[in-house]
């Protein structure tokens, strides 16, 4: 198998973030996973980071020489799986209105 | 870490960073910013992204008029795209009383050069096609309001400040402030002590703790309240461009993120005072119900995240900005409630002018930290977002 050009390697499939973008940010000195997350929006898509975060942690560990276990995981947010608004709104009646 | 600095700013949110950048821009050197977590982790990264000039009082209108001028130029000035777009703010009006209040606000805004106006429900629907206009009798609209990306704004200010020589220390918490005979001597941190003669309290929700460390003798009532926000999966671009607001539906606000396409927003449900920001199921239900009332098609859109953050509230929802006279060179800019993100560019500019030139042409008196002590509150700032 031939290797894909680096800029084509997608790490975050929800928000189309490439490996190159992540490495460029780390090279600029941004090595806090919470900051990488916010600047590139990894882990902020519908999958909530299930696909990309382990990969990003790996890149970060390799590039900074830190142990992967030593890198704190970013906050995960509810709902763990996407929920349709109508489902949540459905139970409420007009009497809930302020 | 430095052991000595001319100025120590406590708080690495958008306000502290804007002050740091503006001080350096006016030629001040030897500035340090202390942030106990990562930059922006306080309220700034949790905000609703909205930027508006539609306020009901002269001071906030004038401040925000200037702030929007600055927002427009930030990409050039800071050398980083903060994704500011002037996609407008649309307030939905459902009753004659509301209409009268908005008419008065619009008149005042127009006097200070903000081009807001009252429009018909049909015009509102042209601006936001999927809008439910049932019961809407009019709307207040200003096309020069907008939104920006808080993550990028924080980094833009931080990087520009660093280029001007500001040192920013993350994961560095101010633990104590040494004051002798009304003069600041040092800030004690978890990483050592910094000798300094000037401290700026930009810790927003935590500002009372910083005041206490320095022994600020006046009462500045700032309290942390939990507010929440949601974000949906991306929808087709251009559906909800402006920030759409309805006070009738409990202060609900929503907009479509400029570059991402997801809808972001919340409503006035609040908890506190508390330092707990765990999201609640009640909010998720309440916000979904309200969003679906205003844009029925949102019923079929998935929520992908919800988060909590602080409104650092004062009794009149206006911040405390200025000098504390009893302690030489102690300043505060905190208590920004639901509108600190939008004010950050002008607050940084105004406070830096006050510190360096001793005066500013911006109406900072309005935010006088001593007004609470005198029992002289301002009119309630329009609150949401
Ligand atoms: C849900 C929600 C929606 C919002 N929507 C909008 C909106 O649409 N538009 C708008 O303009 N505003 C909005 N806001 C308000 C806005 O987020 C805030 O007013 C603004 O971010 C305040 O910025 P700041 O820099 O003062 O505070 P923060 O960002 O909270 O920064 C203060 C910093 O001080 C640090 N700190 C505290 N104590 C110490 C210490 N001892 N040592 C070192 N560091 C310390 C904290 O870690 C924090 O990072 C919203 C807020 C919330 C919660």
Q: Which positions 26-85 of A are in contact with B (Cβ < 8 Å)?
A: 32, 34-35, 38-39, 41, 44-46, 48, 75, 77-79, 82-85
Q: Is the pLDDT of residue A95 over 60?
A: no
Q: How many CB pairs under 8 A join A and B?
A: 85
Q: Is the pLDDT of residue B366 over 70?
A: yes
The CA distance from B375 to B372, in Å, is 5
Q: pLDDT tens digits, residue range A18-54?
A: 999 999 999 988 888 888 988 888 888 878 788 888 8
Residue B181 has what pLDDT?
96
How would CATH label the architecture of A5-88? Orthogonal Bundle (1.10)
Residue A96 has what pLDDT?
47
Long-range contacts, A34-37 (Cβ 8 Å, 24+):
A34/A74, A34/A75, A34/B38, A34/B41, A35/B38, A35/B39, A35/B155, A36/A60, A37/A74
Q: What is the mean pLDDT of residues B78-86?
A: 97
List ligand 1's pocket residues with C-beta within 6 A: B 10-16, 34-37, 41-44, 46-50, 173-174, 202-206, 227-229, 266, 309-311, 334, 336, 338-342, 385
Pick the CATH number of B86-143+223-313 from 3.40.50.2020, 2.40.50.140, 3.30.9.10, 3.30.70.3460: 3.30.9.10
Q: Which of B15, B47, B177 to mutate to test the pocket of ligand 1 (most atoms within 8 A of CB)?
A: B47
Q: Which residues of B touch A92 (CB under 8 A)?
A: 285-286, 289
Pick the CATH number of B7-46+151-222+316-374 from 3.40.50.300, 3.40.640.10, 3.50.50.60, 3.30.465.10: 3.50.50.60
ipTM for the complex? 0.77
List the residue whose alpha carbon is closest to atom 35 of ligand 1.
Answer: B11
Cβ partners under 8 Å of residue B98, min gap 6: B247, B248
Residue A98 has what pLDDT?
41
Q: Which residues of A touch B233 (CB under 8 A)?
A: 46, 82
Residue B383 has what pLDDT?
62
Residue B369 has what pLDDT?
98
Q: For residue A78, what pLDDT band results from cuts at 50, 70 and 90?
A: confident
* B219, B256 contact by CB (below 8 A): no
Q: pLDDT tens digits, residue range B89-144?
A: 999 999 999 999 999 999 999 999 999 999 999 999 999 999 999 999 999 999 99
- Please report the beta strands in chain B, taking only residues with DSSP state E, as ranges in sequence order: 7-10, 31-34, 50-51, 89-93, 117-119, 138-142, 146-147, 167-169, 174-180, 183-189, 192-195, 198-201, 223-234, 243-246, 252-256, 262-266, 302-313, 320-324, 330-334
Q: Which residues of A touch B304 (CB under 8 A)?
A: 45-46, 48, 79, 82
Residue to mutate among B302, B307, B308, B309, with most A CBs inside 10 A, is B302
The CA distance from B17 to B296, in Å, is 40
Q: Is the pLDDT of residue B35 over 80?
A: yes
A32, A86, A97: residue with CB nearest B38: A32
Residue to mutate among A21, A40, A88, with most B CBs inside 10 A, is A88
Mean per-residue pLDDT over chain B, rounded: 96
Listed by start position, the domains of chain B span 7-46+151-222+316-374, 86-143+223-313
Q: For residue B384, what pLDDT band results from cuts at 50, 70 and 90?
A: low
Q: pLDDT tens digits, residue range B2-25?
A: 999 999 999 999 999 999 999 999
DSSP SS3 for B249? coil
Q: Which residues of B touch A79 (CB under 8 A)?
A: 284, 303-306
Q: Which residues of A touch B260 (CB under 8 A)?
A: 15, 41
Tokens 């609703």 appear where?
B48
pTM of the model: 0.93
Q: pLDDT tens digits, residue range B171-184?
A: 999 999 999 999 99
Q: What is the mean pLDDT of residues B251-274?
A: 93
Q: Do A84 and B170 touch (CB under 8 A)?
A: no
Residue A5 has what pLDDT?
63
- Which tokens hold the place of B86? 């002037």
Listed by start position, the domains of chain A span 5-88
Q: What is the mean pLDDT of residues B349-357?
A: 98
Residue B49 has what pLDDT?
94
* DSSP at B190: T
Q: Do B303 and A41 touch (CB under 8 A)?
A: no
Q: pLDDT tens digits, residue range B208-244?
A: 999 999 999 999 999 999 999 999 999 999 999 999 9
* B112, B61 contact by CB (below 8 A): yes
Q: Is the pLDDT of residue A91 over 60?
A: no
Percent of the residues in chain B that have a pLDDT greater than 70, as a whole number: 99
The CA distance from B35 to B15, in Å, is 12
Q: For residue A97, what pLDDT band results from cuts at 50, 70 and 90?
A: very low
DSSP SS3 for B331? strand
The CA distance from B359 to B282, in Å, is 47
Q: Do B303 and A88 touch (CB under 8 A)?
A: yes
User: Higher model confidence: residue A91 or residue A78?
Assistant: A78
């Amino acid at each position: 198998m031939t290797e894909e050009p680096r800029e084509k390697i997608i790490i975050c499939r929800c928000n189309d973030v490439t490996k190159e973008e992540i490495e460029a940010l780390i090279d600029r000195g941004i090595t806090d996973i919470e900051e990488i997350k916010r600047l590139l929006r990894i882990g902020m898509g519908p999958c909530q980071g299930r696909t990309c975060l382990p990969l990003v942690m790996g890149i970060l560990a390799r590039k900074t020489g830190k142990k992967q276990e030593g890198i704190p995981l970013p906050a995960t947010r509810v709902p763990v799986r996407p929920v349709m608004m109508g489902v949540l709104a459905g139970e409420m009646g007009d009497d809930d209105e302020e | 870490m430095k052991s000595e600095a001319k100025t120590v700013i406590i708080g690495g949110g958008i306000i502290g960073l804007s002050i740091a950048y503006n001080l350096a821009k006016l030629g001040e050197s030897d500035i340090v910013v202390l942030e106990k977590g990562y930059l922006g982790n306080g309220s700034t990264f949790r905000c609703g992204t909205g930027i508006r000039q539609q306020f009901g009082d002269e001071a906030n209108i004038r401040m925000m008029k200037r702030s929007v001028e600055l927002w427009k130029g930030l990409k050039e000035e800071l050398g980083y795209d903060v994704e500011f777009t002037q996609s407008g703010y649309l307030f939905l009006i459902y009753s004659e009383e509301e209409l009268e209040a908005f008419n008065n606000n619009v008149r005042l805004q127009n006097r200070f050069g903000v081009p807001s106006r009252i429009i018909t429900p049909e015009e509102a629907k042209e601006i936001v096609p999927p809008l439910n206009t049932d019961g809407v009798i009019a709307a207040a609209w200003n096309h020069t309001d907008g939104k920006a990306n808080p993550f990028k704004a924080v980094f833009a200010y931080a990087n520009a400040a660093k280029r001007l020589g500001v040192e920013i220390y993350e994961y560095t918490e101010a633990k104590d402030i040494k004051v002798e005979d009304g003069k600041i001597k040092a800030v004690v941190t978890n990483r050592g002590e910094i000798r300094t003669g000037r401290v700026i309290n930009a810790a927003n929700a935590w500002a009372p703790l910083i005041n206490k460390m320095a022994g600020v003798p006046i009462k500045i009532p700032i309290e942390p309240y939990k507010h929440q926000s949601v974000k949906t999966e991306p929808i087709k671009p251009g559906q909800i461009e402006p920030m759409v607001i309805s006070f009738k539906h409990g202060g609900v606000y929503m907009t479509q993120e400029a570059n991402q396409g997801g809808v972001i927003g919340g409503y006035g449900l609040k908890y506190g005072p508390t330092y707990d920001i765990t999201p609640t199921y009640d909010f998720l239900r309440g916000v979904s119900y309200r969003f679906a009332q205003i844009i029925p098609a949102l019923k079929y859109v998935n929520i992908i995240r919800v988060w909590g953050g602080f409104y650092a509230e004062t009794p009149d929802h206006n911040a405390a900005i200025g000098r504390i006279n009893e302690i030489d060179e102690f300043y505060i800019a905190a208590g920004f409630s639901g509108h600190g993100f939008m004010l950050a560019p002008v607050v940084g500019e105004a406070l830096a002018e006050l510190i360096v030139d001793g005066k500013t042409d911006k109406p900072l008196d309005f935010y006088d930290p001593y007004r609470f002590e005198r029992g002289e509150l301002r009119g309630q700032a329009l609150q949401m977002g």
